A and B are shown apart, each in its own frame.
Chain A
Amino acid sequence: DVKVTQSSRYLVKRTGEKVFLECVQDMDHENMFWYRQDPGLGLRLIYFSYDVKMKEKGDIPEGYSVSREKKERFSLILESASTNQTSMYLCASSTGQGQVQPQHFGDGTRLSIL
């Protein structure tokens, strides 16, 4: 079975902190994604990566960075957390080139910035 694991289900941090969200997939997928999901706004893509050390900006990259040093791991970094980054963060992965193959999601990290 496809498995995408996010390091924390719930996280509470303070404004200005540097926050790391980790995601690991065990399917040897080339593509990995970070989204945030907010009520009324649906899913929004922050960053994605289609290979080790490669990254592409999504729709809302401001205030975030990513790291992909190994194929199975994709990290999202909030450089200096702010209250408007309180959200549900979802990691996903997919195989191959193009958009045909479905994306498989982790269970999400509900992040609260106080």
Chain B
Amino acid sequence: DAKTTQPPSMDCAEGRAANLPCNHSTISGNEYVYWYRQIHSQGPQYIIHGLKNNETNEMASLIITEDRKSSTLILPHATLRDTAVYYCIVRAATLNNAGNMLTFGGGTRLMVKP
């Protein structure tokens, strides 16, 4: 799986959009970009994933650059409950079950402030 690079921490004002960047310059053609977050003392929570098109769901939007070497997770109106560590992961889609492990890097610690 391709390596990802994220800033270690970011601040965001409550009610404003939070834009979390991720670099994945060695991404391969069959690798998807996933975002998870982990609020303190809870299990990781899936947010969104995409291959090359931009994606949106009820939680967030995912913008992937045309060359797919970077992406941005957007929380459109951040709340205090969005304070968490956000993980960007790149994983290949395969048809076998080997190597199903999910690997989290350091992530970005997002602090939403009142």
A→B interface (CB under 8 Å): 4, 31, 33, 35, 42-43, 45, 48, 50, 56, 58-59, 90, 92, 94, 97-100, 102-108, 110
Cβ contact within 8 Å between A100 and B32: yes
Cβ contact within 8 Å between A104 and B46: yes
Please, what's the 1-or-0 string for B77-110, where 1 marks a CB less than 8 Å from any CB in chain A?
A: 0000000000000011111111111111100000
Alpha-carbon distance A48/B36, docked complex (angstroms)? 20
B→A interface (CB under 8 Å): 32, 34, 36, 41-46, 49, 91-105
Q: Given contacts A98-B93, A98-B94, A99-B93, are A58 and B32 in contact (CB under 8 A)?
A: no
Q: Given contacts A33-B100, A43-B103, A59-B101, are A105 and B43 in contact (CB under 8 A)?
A: yes
Which of chain B's residues has its CB closest to A49's CB?
A: B97
- CB-defined contacts of A50 to chain B, threshold 8 Å: 97, 100
Alpha-carbon distance A106/B44, docked complex (angstroms)? 8
Q: Is the interface of A mostly helix, strand, loop or mixed?
A: strand
Q: Given contacts A99-B92, A108-B43, are A56 and B97 in contact (CB under 8 A)?
A: yes
- Could you name 26 residue pairs across A and B whose Cβ atoms are closer than 8 Å? A4-B43, A31-B97, A33-B100, A33-B101, A43-B44, A43-B103, A45-B101, A50-B97, A56-B98, A58-B101, A59-B101, A90-B44, A92-B102, A94-B100, A99-B91, A99-B92, A99-B93, A99-B99, A99-B100, A100-B32, A102-B36, A102-B46, A102-B49, A103-B102, A105-B45, A108-B42
Which of chain B's residues has its CB closest to A102's CB?
A: B46
Cβ contact within 8 Å between B104 and A43: yes
Alpha-carbon distance A98/B100, docked complex (angstroms)? 8
Which of chain A's residues has its CB closest to B100's CB?
A: A48
Alpha-carbon distance A97/B99, docked complex (angstroms)? 12
Q: State the Cβ distance, A26 to closest chain B Cβ, in Å.
A: 15
Which of chain A's residues has its CB closest to B98's CB?
A: A56
